[in-house]
Structures are given as C-alpha cells and as structure tokens.
Amino acid sequence: MKFTFAVISGDGIGPEVTNQAKKALEAVAEVYNHVFLYKDAKIGACAIDEKGVPLPEETIKICKEADAILYGAVGDIKYDNNPSSKIRPEQGILQLRQELKLFCNIRPIKAYNKLLKNSPLKREVVSGTDVAIFRELTGGIYFGKKELSKDGKIAFDGCQYSEEEILRVAHLAFKAAGERRKKVTLVDKANVLETSRLWRRVVTEVAKEYEDVSLDFMLVDNATMQIVLNPKQFDVILTENLFGDIISDVATVIGGSIGMLAASSIGEKHALFEPIHGSYPQAAGKDIANPLASIISAAMMLEYLGLEDEADAIHRAVQKSLDLGITTKDLKAKNQTAALTSKVGDFIADYIENQEDSNMNFKNIHMGQSTII
Ligand code: IPM
Ligand code: MN
C-alpha cells in the first residue's frame, strides 16, 4: 500500500529520534512491500527562526493532506528562559492540535520487564502495569480565555468544557476499555470545579451505553499519588487536558524512562504520533537521545492505519533491543556502555528486515552491520 506521512520533527532531539522512526518505517516498507512517502515540514522554534511563526501555513497544509503525522518535539532553551516572550515554540503544537481537531490524546503506560530495574519505584509495584491514559486535548484551560491586567499584576486563565467535547473523548475511552480490562477511571476535581462536575455527569451517561465496562471516579490529587503507589489498579484513565498532561508525566516513572513513552493524538480526520518526551535541547545533536519512544510512535501510526503485522514487527524489534541491551544511556547503569541513537535505529531497522532469519548474528547487528551466517 501507499501512504504519505507528514514529518514534523521540530526542535532539539526531535529530528534525531524521528530519523530513527523513519528508518524503522523504511524497513517495514521493504519487508511488507509498501511505499511510504515522507513530507517534511517545520514546527516550533525552527519554524520561528525560518518563517517567523511556530506553525507555518505550509505545515498545516502538509499535515492535512497526509495520511498520518509523525511528530518529534518543540521547545528551545532561549524561549524557556523567557516565558513572557509573545511567540513561543509550544504554540506550534497547540495550534496544530486545534487546527486538526486532535481532541483525544492516548498515552499507553507499560512496564517492560527488561526495564523494571530502571524505575525508581519498587519492582513489585510497577511490574505488570498496563494503563492507557485518555487525555482530552483541545479544550479546557489550555484553550480558555487568557488575560493579563494592564498593570501586569493580575492574570486569568479560563477553563471551559462543553458536553460535546466530553462526549467524543469519553466514547473513545470506553471503546478502548471494552477491548482491554473493561474499567474506566475518570480523573477530575469534582469537589472543587464546575467543569469536573459536568465531566462526571456526562461520563456517567456515556457509561450506560457500555454495560461491560465499569466506571469509577478519582480526584486528581489522589490519582497522582495512586498512579505511583499502585498503578496496576488502573486500566483506562479518562481525564481533561491539564490533568492528563500532569498525570501522564508522573506515570512515565513506571516505564523507567520518559524515552520509552509514545502517544497518539486522534481527531475525526487526522492523527498525529509522537514520543512524549520533549525537545531535550541539552542532548540535541549528540546522538545520545533514546529513539525508542519515537519508533514506538511509528508503530502506533501503522496500527492506526490498519497495518497490525507491520506494527508488531516494530514492537518485536523494540523488545529485542531491550533484551539485548542495545539501548541509549538513559536505560543503562553508569558503568555500562550505551548505544548511540543512530545505532539503536540501525539495529531496529536491521532486525525488522532480518528477524525471520534465525541465523542472524546479533553481535554484528549491534554495530549496525548485520551479517547472515
Ligand atoms: C505535551 C506537552 C505539551 C502540552 C506542551 C509542549 C505544550 O507537554 O504534549 O504533553 O502541555 O500539552
Ligand atoms: Mn506534557
């Protein structure tokens, strides 16, 4: 089959990790006889530098025309140190979410057996964790009215939700739970916020349509604690934009490294796939960032397009790289030798192309030179 992917790799380590995802996709195309076309476009600080805006029109057009979007990261130290700057790289991704109506962000949180020792949490706490966070992505306080008084002494951020905005993401969460362990936990702050009380009412109604899925409620402060105390109690977490942003970063400690977590942002017509780590400018250009989250996001993109076997091939290669310890330094102990970003990418691509061959010499693959013996 033929697919066109918009590639918006963005800033910092974005381009390096996205390149490894492209290698994995190319290997898949080769093995499964597909044609994948890539259209690069700018977003974030690099777009501001080149075009003066974080989301150029041309990028929106390329994304709208693509079958799916592969996204890297946005952000740059020069803007982090100046939070009052009017134009910011983050506006690029926020605008794109709104423009393409990507209302549902899905963040799967899994504990890989091989990485249990990497989590600061106890082995028995994280082992077996499999949670999917469904975060509403185009509403709430992120997109509410923002104001600063003339004297600069009072600031305002409004949080608004409509029934419609809650309904569409809730249905996706319940459908997913039906295919999983059949439990949705709505995370909110219904003891304080009116918007949260609306969420409870609407989600309670939605739940009636999914008889085999149970619904419970948890306040966000408690949920943030529970996700590290006992993550296995959760199946699908459904929550609003800001709470989802916070709770999903907390949950990354379960996987042992934020470098392992990928996400999809889904709308009715478009879908975007990304590693959830940011642009990590300190590591940019050094070939040391973990590319696995970006590679896993490419697998999620193939699943979304209905290419399940192809996605599995990527997942198996990722698992193999963990089994063999062909990983970047965030997954290594201090005294262990780590693989470079590009070498992890080479291994993954190589393994996808050759995995059916049981005679493969993994030692050489490690160096990015597979030899069949
Ligand atoms: C995320 C990021 C973004 C967000 C930033 C870059 C605006 O943290 O995707 O989680 O807050 O949504
Ligand atoms: Mn975030």
Q: For the segment 202-233, what is each residue's pLDDT rounded down to a tens digit? A: 999 999 999 999 999 999 999 999 999 999 99
DSSP state of 68: E
Same domain, 170 and 309: no
Does residue 174 form part of some domain? yes
Same domain, 115 and 237: yes
Same domain, 111 and 17: no
Query: Could you say which of 256, 290, 325 is where a domain stops?
Result: 256
Name the residue among 137, 22, 132, 106 with its Cα closest to residue 70: 22
Cα separations (Å) of 5 from 66, 173, 291, 337? Answer: 5, 26, 18, 34
Q: Which domain holds residue 185?
A: 107-256
Same domain, 36 and 49: yes
Ligand 1 binding pocket mutation candidate from 93, 239, 240, 266 (most atoms within 8 A of CB): 93
Does residue 373 form part of some domain? yes
Same domain, 202 and 155: yes
Our answer to whether residue 80 is catalytic in this structure is: no
Same domain, 274 and 243: no
Our answer to whether residue 112 is catalytic in this structure is: no
Q: What is the mean pLDDT of residues 343-359?
A: 86
DSSP state of 331: G
Q: Locate the ligand 1 atom nearest the alpha carbon of residue 74 and give its number.
A: 6
Q: What is the DSSP string of 11-63?
A: STTHHHHHHHHHHHHHHHHHHHT-EEEEEE---THHHHHHHSSSS-HHHHHHH
Does residue 250 form part of some domain? yes
Question: How far apart are the CA of 283 and the centre of ligand 1, in A?
Answer: 19
Does residue 262 form part of some domain? no
Does residue 127 form part of some domain? yes
Same domain, 178 and 134: yes
Name the residue among 39, 10, 42, 36 with its Cα closest to residue 24: 36
Q: Domain with 72 in it: what CATH number?
A: 3.40.718.10
Does residue 168 form part of some domain? yes
Question: How far apart are the CA of 45 and the centre of ligand 2, in A?
Answer: 17
Given a cut of 90, whether residue 333 has pLDDT beyond it is: no
pLDDT band at 368 (very low <50, low <70, confident <90, very high): very low
Question: Looking at residue 372, what is its pLDDT?
Answer: 38
Stated as kind and residue range, the H or E segment containing 2 is: strand 2-10
Does residue 221 form part of some domain? yes
Q: Locate the ligand 1 atom nearest the alpha carbon of residue 73 and give its number.
A: 6
d(CA 213, CA 204): 12
Average pLDDT, the chain: 94
Write out pLDDT tens, residues 239-270.
999 999 999 999 999 988 899 999 999 999 99
| Number of domains into which the chain is organized | 2
Stated as kind and residue range, the H or E segment containing 203 is: helix 194-207
The token pair that represents 302 in the structure block? 């193939």
